[in-house]
Structure 1
Amino acid sequence: MTAETFVRFCRKTVRRFVRDTSGNIAVTFAIALLPILAFVGAGIDYSRANAARSSMQAALDSTALMLSRDLAQGTITSTDIPTKASAYFKALYTSADAKGIGVNVSYTAATTTTASNIQLTASGQIVTQFMKLAGFPTMDFSTKATTTWGDVKMRVALALDNTGSMASSNKMTALQNAVAGSGGLIDQLSALAKAPGDVYISVVPFAKVVNVGESNYAQNWLDWTDWQNPPTVQPANGSYQAAIPNGSFSQAQWDMVGPGSSCPFKSSNGFSYFGCVSGPTTGSASVSTIPKTGDANAGQICPGYDSASHSYYNGCWTTTKTSTVVTYCTGSSCKCSNGANESCTCTGTSGTSGYTCKVNTYTKTWVANAKSTWTGCVADRTQPNDANAVSPSTSDVTTLFPANQHMENNTQYCSSSASTKLAPIVPLSYNWNSLKSAVNAMQPTGGTNQAIGLAWAVQSLIPNGVLGAPAEAASTTYNRVIILLSDGLNTEDRWPEYGNGSSQASGNPIDARQALLCSNLKNTKDAKGNSMYTIYTIQVNTSSPADPTSTVLQNCASSPDKFYMLTSSSQIVTTFNSIGTALSKLRVAK
């Protein structure tokens, strides 16, 4: 058959097919088949393109994070970004379908108000298998990724037990080696700093109190209430109340105490836990009578050391003779019972109701020592602010820090002349040699109050706070870390009825206050909703018999893996090394 004949045959056959009405369903299906196949094919091609784009997005995100990490750690410079971006992306993106891949990168360096920023865009296409029948031989797709980060900086506060028990089992020496020794925590953390200020460390030695430094006596964040007041019945002091007068005197006879009188305080009698001293300065000798005319400090009534609160009363009452009063006596004779070495004038008939004694009375004015004589100790803040990190305000005295003249075992622990001085707090610093010197100067002294160490560790991290921590830049990510180490259970704090220096009162009230502080700190969030502080706690348990596990320390840690129970002093070094290793990653913030 010739081609012309074949063409005529096809025409004839088509005309017959068109006139034939018996096969109209087949005709309809044939007409619809092409768009159906086109739609199915388009779905397949679209799925291929979407899969290629999803893979591209994942690769681009990872590339952006790795670039920001490299820049933050200083392993690349800004000029390396395009080459490094291409290398990372090509290694991560392995789609077989994608063709014509292109990657563009834009980097904006951080300023004082904005963070560093990397923007990545990528594009590609797939060769279609079905849509090319409809005139679309390729499908294009693109995606982008952005990462913003600041400099990641680290601020670490070390709250370190400096109590007397740290002298046993070589614990203090082990602690000093772990923190300030060669390869210790300070060396580990200082190695992370690419520039001054990348890493800061503060040191907070604690016992019952902390030492913020005597040079701070003019600061407006100090509470001088206890310092300036004479012995009074303090709130929440239970059976350890400081009451006046006491000893051989009744309250009614307080006005008769003057020069030459017997000391109205006796530490072995009633609620009084202090006696009299010869003068207003701390460390004055104990006396049994009030200095009289001709003696030094004549007429001054100085209460001295309070063995219940382990603190020194800073001042004396000055006495002024005011008048003569009549005291009625009962019995067969009248004896002037004011204890003074002064004569009394008695009139009337002995044994009668008219028999009276006339005695001198005295007006008393409390004169506190000058604030400049304070040695630097502060006690727990007034509740409830002992259990939070609220900033002090002069309009609310309960937010201020009580100045305290701590004295225990005949030693004023914050005094520069003390043989075993409680070392002062070192605010955040990157002077590594000074930090090491401060740690190596620590000496075991006093009783245990972990809560005050923790409270001041937090204060040391508060920007522009009482300890002058540097401001925090909005474009910077900060890792704020607290490491709290103690070798014993809490035994005393500001409130004498909570503990006597050897043990706590029933119900563990000191632990209860600390537990509340820990809870408040762990629930404190930053602007991004993340925990503000990471807390590590360490219990050094070398006692025999061993102390129980400290529940308050265990629960204070940010997570179970951040609590360490040590049974020998040698473990202190390895534990701090482990914590230092955990802190040695500067993390990139997405």
Structure 2
Amino acid sequence: MTAVSPLRFCRRVVPQFVRDRRGNISMLFAIALVPILAFIGAGIDYSRVNAARTSMQGALDSAALMLSRDLSQGTITASDVPAKASAYFKALYTSADAQNVTVNVSYTASTSSSPSNIQLSASGQIVTQFMKIVGFPTMDFGVKGTTTWGDVKMRVALALDNTGSMASSGKMTALQNAVAGSGGLIDQLSGLAKTPGDVYISVVPFAKVVNVGASNYSQSWLDWTDWQNPPTIQPNNGSYQAAIPNTKLTQAQWDMVGPGSACPFTSGNGYYFGCVSGPTSGSASTSTIPKTGDANAGQVCPGYDSASHSYYNGCWTTAKTSTVVTYCTGSSCKCSNGANESCSCTGTSGTSGYTCKVNTYTKTWVANAFSSWTGCVADRTQPNDATAVSPVASDVKTLFPTNQHMENNTQYCSSTATTKLAQIVPLSYSWSSLKSAVNAMQPTGGTNQAIGLAWAVQSLIPNGVLGAPSEDANTTYNRVIILLSDGLNTEDRWPEYGNGSSQASGNPIDARQALLCSNLKNTKDSKGNSMYTIYTIQVNTSSPADPTSTVLQNCASSPDKFYMLTSSSQIVTTFNSIGTALSKLRVAR
């Protein structure tokens, strides 16, 4: 059956109704039919126009982005813009309904006070099917598009897992290739910069702690509370650090510890540390307090704490205060086989003339010099472990706690460590230096993603602790964080939260990180837009596989910015994909 157009149908039927004399109703229907069809037809024709306009807008926007990319990369010049705009638009806009389509372009190059700008406009018309009945044979439409670049700068912080498990399955090598290899992320992003400072990158290697560099020991943003204190119950450190004296060591027993005494700290006696022979973190373990004539005589020095995976930084110095004379009978009163200089006995054991003289000592804690710090910092005191608040010298909770970290018999931040936790690299556009830093990374201790994320944010804060450059109020900044980890969180500043192998019940480390992620995602800039764009990557090559990290998944700015990888080879392709996405973000807005 041959199809009949609506117009031809109307032309044929309407005269028939006009000639029909069989009833007034036919005349009334004929008269009403024309406006009814006009209203119905108008809706159809307007729908066709809207579809053509929507398609045209998408093509125009894509053409504008492609032009701005070509201009920013130098593949075309200003004189090429009109022809290139027409070619891009015609290739992208393929509407069958649109006729007499034209496109116009205006390009303004950047100056010292204004960015580069492309303005595109396009117009066309459709031939109506119904509206022509009422005198509108065509309907015109048009769209506009603008893209601006050159005032959009990019600052990217890389929080990269440097824990021991990164040594397996070639993950560290793959990460280094993905970031610092030929064509890697650094090359991708550096290619977007037309002038120095258009793109900055920071690198934040993390394990349980981060390494901010020992040369920063005089900075006012450091918290030396834990460093200066003896083994006491520190804020938020709970039962894993013993107060001195404690229930295992009475005040009287503590007062009698002096030169030659047995070390009062043993792991089986309520402690996670023993004694060392001197105040430095490399001093040898000892079972007795150095005697008179020995180096460090009388100094009571706590050693490595296996719960907090760190060293204490100082010793108690002793000074004799008094002699207590005790009259003893029987053989129970004796002086530690004569080794303890705080005790001496005379007379015949078991007689009333048997006398023990016991020395008592006052003790003064003397902390090591700050300059002996190796550069590790731990999580900030809660609640600021989960915020990006800038440090204020008058509020210790905003400062960053120094830590003499040691794990697996290695002081990871020490310059002499065979496997050193690499130092944070602040925002930089020295591409070769950034590559060298990434390629020098080595796998170290346990996993604390939150501290890597916290310092990635700190690296982006203008004029902050890591010296990020100031921001121009007239410039748009894309602040991006990429967080990669190959394992689940196992430890942080608080020993009761995790032991380096697993978290405590309830995943308290993840809970702190989730709060940090939520705070960052809810941070807005002056225009009400999200301050940070967060990408998260879980490299899951374990066998059996780790579960999906909910905290990483939820930390990403959107579901498409979380990547679950099951092989090391995917690290390179994932960073390439992120780099491509950031390139589009950098070129235009």
Q: TM-score range by the shorter chain?
A: 0.7 to 0.9
Normalising by the residue count of structure 1, what TM-score does the alignment of the two structures yield?
Answer: 0.77
1:181 aligns with 2:181: yes
CA distance in 2, matches of 1:542, 1:121: 51
Moved more, 239-248 or 401-410: 239-248
- How many residues of Structure 1 are paired with residues of Structure 2 in the alignment? 525
Question: 1:259 is matched by which residue type in structure 2?
Answer: P
In the other structure, the counterpart of 1:254 is 254
User: Aligned equivalents of 1:232 and 1:328: distance in 2?
Assistant: 35
Matched, 1:421 2:387: no
CA distance 1:562–1:321, change in 2 (3 Å): same
TM-score by length of 2: 0.77
Residue 369 of structure 1 is matched in structure 2 by 368
2:511 pairs with 1:512: yes
Quote how far apart the aligned CAs of 1:519 are.
0.8
Equivalent residue, structure 2, for 1:317: 316
Cα drift, residue 288 of structure 1: 0.9
The amino acid of 2:189's aligned partner reads L
Kindly indicate whether residue 197 of structure 2 is the aligned counterpart of residue 194 of structure 1.
no
Aligned to 1:132: none
- Asked whether the 8 Å contact 1:540–1:565 carries over to 2, the reply is yes
Distance change (3 Å), C-alpha of 1:146 and 1:538: closer
Structure 1 stretch displaced more, 233-242 or 211-220? 233-242
Alignment pair present for 1:263 and 2:263: yes
Q: Distance in 1 between matches of 2:210 and 2:478?
A: 25
Question: Is the 1:153–1:586 contact (alpha carbons within 8 Å) kept by the matching residues of 2?
Answer: no
Query: Where does residue 455 of structure 2 map in the other structure?
Result: 456
Correspondence list, 1:152-551, <5 A = 152-245=152-245, 249-270=249-270, 272-325=271-324, 333-336=332-335, 340-344=340-344, 357-551=356-550
* Residues 1:512 and 1:330: Cα distance change in structure 2 (over 3 Å): farther
Match of residue 28 from structure 1 = none
Q: Which residue of 2 aligns with 1:572?
A: 571
Contact 1:247/1:264 (<8 A) preserved: no
The one-letter code matched in structure 2 to 1:364 is K
Backbone CA RMSD of aligned residues:
4.2
Letter in 1 for 2:196: P
- The worse-fitting range, judged by mean Cα deviation, of 276-285 and 241-250 is 241-250
Which of the pair has more CA radius of gyration?
Answer: 1
SS state at 1:580 partner: helix
- Give the Å deviation of 1:341: 3.4
Q: Which residue of 2 aligns with 1:136?
A: none
CA distance in 2, matches of 1:78, 1:500: 61
**What is the rounded CA distance, in whole Å, between the counterparts of 1:115 and 1:85 in structure 2?**
19
Check conservation: 1:535, 1:562, Cα contact below 8 A: yes
Give the drift of 1:335. Answer: 3.7
CA–CA distance in structure 1, aligned partners of residues 103 and 273 of structure 2 = 84
Distance 1:579 1:143 in 2: 31
Shift of 1:463: 1.2
Query: Is the Cα–Cα contact under 8 Å of residues 247 and 265 in structure 1 kept in the other structure?
Result: no
Superposition deviation, residue 351 in structure 1: 9.2
Residue identity matched to 2:529: N
The 5-angstrom pairing of residues 66-215 of structure 1 reads 109=110, 111=112, 151-215=151-215
Q: CA deviation at 1:571?
A: 1.5
Contact 2:277–2:286 (8 Å) recurs in 1: yes
User: Which residue of structure 2 aligns with residue 559 of structure 1?
Assistant: 558
Question: 1:413 Cα shift?
Answer: 0.5
* Inter-CA distance 524–77: structure 2 relative to 1 (3 Å threshold): farther
Check the 8 A contact 1:376/1:404 in 2, yes or no. yes
Q: CA deviation at 1:406?
A: 0.3
- The one-letter code of the counterpart of 2:174 is A
1:106 and 1:440, CA in 2 relative to 1: closer, same or farther beyond 3 A?
Answer: closer
Q: Which amino acid aligns with 1:422?
A: L
Paired amino acid for 1:195: T
8 Å contact 2:233–2:239 — kept in the other structure? Answer: no
Give ranges in structure 2 of 5+ residues lacking alignment. Answer: 1-45, 124-141
- Structure 2 SS opposite 1:524: coil
- TM-aligned CA distance change 1:324 to 1:96, over 3 Å: closer
Deviation at 1:104, TM superposition (A): 11
1: CA distance between counterparts of 2:564 and 2:105? 52
Secondary structure (helix, strand or coil) at the match of 1:535 reads: strand
Paired AA for residue 559 in structure 1? S
**What residue number does 1:27 align with?**
none
- CA gap 1:181/1:269 in 2 versus in 1, 3 angstroms: same
Change (3 A) 1:422 1:104: closer
Q: What secondary structure sits across from 2:243 in the alignment?
A: coil
Please report how far the alpha carbon of residue 533 of structure 1 lies from its aligned counterpart in structure 2 after TM superposition: 1.2
Distance 1:89 1:260, change over 3 A: closer
Distance across 2 between alignment mates of 1:526 and 1:502: 38
Unmatched runs of 5 consecutive residues or more in structure 1: 1-47, 124-141
1:74 deviation in Å? 5.6
**Closer, same or farther: CA 540–86 of 1 in aligned 2, 3 Å:** closer
| More divergent stretch after superposition (67-76 vs 167-176) | 67-76
> Residues 97 and 357 (structure 1 numbering): CA distance in 2 closer, same or farther, change over 3 Å?
same
Please list the CA deviations of residues 541-576 of structure 1 after superposition, one character each: whole Å capped at 9, or x if unmatched: 111111111111111111111111111112212211
- CA gap of 1:535–1:89, structure 2 versus 1, over 3 A, is closer
Q: Is the 8 A contact 1:244 1:265 kept in 2?
A: no
Contact 1:260–1:289, Cα closer than 8 Å, also in 2: yes
What is the deviation of 1:286?
A: 0.8
Tell me: CA distance 1:294–1:88, structure 2 relative to 1, closer, same or farther (3 Å).
Answer: closer
SS in 1 for 2:187: helix
The one-letter amino acid paired with 2:379 is D
Write the distance in 2 (CA, Å) between the matches of 1:104 and 1:192.
Answer: 24
| Separation in 2, partners of 1:377, 1:273 | 21
Write the letter of the residue equivalent to 2:464: G
Distance 1:79 1:220, change over 3 A: farther
Judging changes above 3 Å, is the alpha-carbon distance between structure 1 residues 436 and 105 closer, same or farther for their aligned structure 2 residues? Answer: closer
- Inter-CA distance 182–106: structure 2 relative to 1 (3 Å threshold): closer
